[in-house]
Structure 1
Amino acid sequence: MKAVTSYDQLDKLGRVRLSQNFYMRDFLFSEIAAWHAGSTVDGTFLQLRNVPDRPDVAIETGKQLCNLLLEPLQATFGRINIRSGYRSPAVNAFGNSKGLNCGSNESNFGAHIWDYPDAARKELGAMACIIVPWQHDRLRAHPWTEMAWWIHDHLPYSTLQFFASGAFNIGWQVTPQRVIRSTVAPQKLTAPDMPNHGGLHTSEYPGYPELRSPA
């Protein structure tokens, strides 16, 4: 698919089906772009469009994220909510500069910026920030680590980052890093160099369902 330069092309991009239940349009909405587009910065009209520079790359990485991670989560726990998906470099850079919960572009290449490889490993990836309502409803009585360990044991994630709100980032990369972090303690739950990384952790998520395959 060519670079998006018209509304018709954007409409076509949004209709691309990434997996059984997810379409590209599900990941293109940006509250930053929706609120700040059309404003002025230092007298300059601001145009923010949350559209990939390289649609074909974004589609392919998005398919991996959806098929390998989001579809199994939704099949097992019920409908998931997407808080933030794809971010264009322009939108992400603006969000970072204004303190709107966006890391630098360099830290988001191969993550929320799906169509550029990550700066360190030069690998492609895709990330979404999601809420799993089934888990979110349990958070008052159960720690966030339960979902983290369940995903660790069942899905080929690359990185997870959990937030106090109950949302979490889940990312796919060509070569998974298998690292889990959080903004609340413990801030680093596991990584390949930690002794708790290997084996199964079934006792850490009592009452969780078995992994279900998408229908």
Structure 2
Amino acid sequence: MRKPGSMKGLEKLGRVRLSQNFFLRDFLMSEIANFYSIPNIPENPDLAIETGTRLCIELLEPLQSKFGRIAIRSGYRSAKVTAFGNARRHGASVRYNAGYHIWDMPDGNGHKGAAACIVIPWFADRYAEGADWRALAWWIHDHLPYSHLEFYPKLCAFNIHWSEQPQRRIDSFIKPKGCLTKPGMENHGGNHGEWYSGLGQT
């Protein structure tokens, strides 16, 4: 598929279904792009569709099945939008977002990937009442083939990353801040069910 060169072309791209419950259009909204009037459109739609499909099928669909509706805070970001935002301290550089929020650009090692920042409303309500973000983090760690998770204090939003070469690392800006787990840490293997017993809608 060619990069859209018209409104109709972008409309067609947005209708591409990535999985049972998600369409590409769900991931194209960007506050930076909207505020500064910069089109947030993939240069390589086929690669964006390929990696976005893996993100949705392997990570987002199982999360939605377990915890209910997922709200997309941020998904795909073009290299142009990323560079513009980084220059104004609105996010990381193209180098660090390649194969992450820039779905249609492999990372520095040539690996494909895609990420989204999401909120799970069901869990956000419980987080507001004092639930520990690590319960959700460990459930994902034990059940899904994620590459990277990064948690944020507002609404317990978090980045969730799919990669063809997964890191299996969890970081957080919520206390306790820092790296929760990564390969080589003592807590990385095994089952962490004591953290999330009874968690979820099903």
TM-score range (shorter-chain normalised) is: over 0.9
Equivalent-residue separation in structure 2 for 1:3 and 1:209 (angstroms): 39
2:110 corresponds to: 122
- Which stretch shifts more, 90-99 or 17-26? 90-99
**Larger-gyration structure (1/2):** 1
How do 1:19-168 and structure 2 match up within 5 A? 19-37=19-37, 48-100=38-90, 102-119=91-108, 121-139=109-127, 140-165=129-154, 166-168=156-158
Amino-acid identity (%): 54
**Misfit runs of 4+, over 4 Å:** none
Equivalenced residue count is: 199
Whichever residue aligns with residue 12 of structure 2, its letter is K
Is the 2:3–2:41 contact (alpha carbons within 8 Å) kept by the matching residues of 1? no
Matched with 2:184 is: 193
Deviation at 1:5?
1.5
Q: Which amino acid aligns with 2:130?
A: A
Q: How far did 1:206 drift?
A: 2.9
What RMSD in Å do the two structures reach over aligned CA positions?
A: 1.2
SS in 1 for 2:150: strand
Q: 1 or 2, which has the higher helix percentage?
A: 2
What is the TM-score when the length of structure 2 is the normalising length? 0.95
Matched, 1:208 2:199: yes
Output the CA distance in 2 between the equivalents of 1:204 and 1:186.
17
Gapped runs of 5+ residues in structure 1?
Answer: 38-47
